[in-house]
């Protein structure tokens, strides 16, 4: 892995951790789609600006505007594509009773 790849991976992981540390920001960014003409870098959305200022501070002010926009886009894409693994519970219905088998 090159030095750049190592640095980028750390930046994205730091951004993911920062997004996940605040439920309001997490939920907002997962539903937010910037205008295709402005993207994340030039959006005028006030809530996004508020949250991006917080994330910039939380990640150490290490980005230019362009790298911040790229980092947040990649981080949100990764979060959106994470798999959620849920342990299944089998349920049997017998007359008026529901029997749940947890094994």
pLDDT, tens digit, 9 for 90 and up, residues 25-64? 999 999 999 999 999 999 999 999 999 999 999 999 888 8
Structure-block tokens of residue 34 = 């910037």
Which CA distances in Å does 92 have to 85, 88, 103? 22, 13, 14
Residue with the two structure tokens 């926009």: 69
Averaged pLDDT of the chain: 86
The pTM score is 0.75
Burial of 72 (0-12, 13-18, 19+ CB in 10 A): buried
What does the pLDDT read at residue 50?
96
- In the structure, how many helices (H) and strands (E) does the chain have? 5, 2
Give the span between the Cα atoms of 19 and 68, in whole angstroms: 13
- The whole-angstrom separation of Cα 69 and Cα 41 is 5
């Amino acid at each position: 892995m090159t030095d750049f790849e190592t640095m980028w991976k750390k930046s994205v992981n730091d951004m993911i951790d920062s997004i996940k540390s605040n439920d309001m920001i997490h939920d907002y960014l997962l539903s937010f789609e910037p205008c295709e003409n402005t993207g994340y870098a030039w959006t005028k959305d006030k809530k996004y600006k508020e949250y991006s200022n917080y994330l910039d501070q939380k990640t150490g002010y290490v980005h230019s505007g362009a790298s911040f926009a790229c980092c947040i886009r990649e981080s949100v894409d990764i979060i959106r594509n994470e798999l959620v693994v849920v342990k299944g519970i089998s349920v049997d219905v017998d007359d008026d009773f529901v029997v749940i088998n947890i094994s």
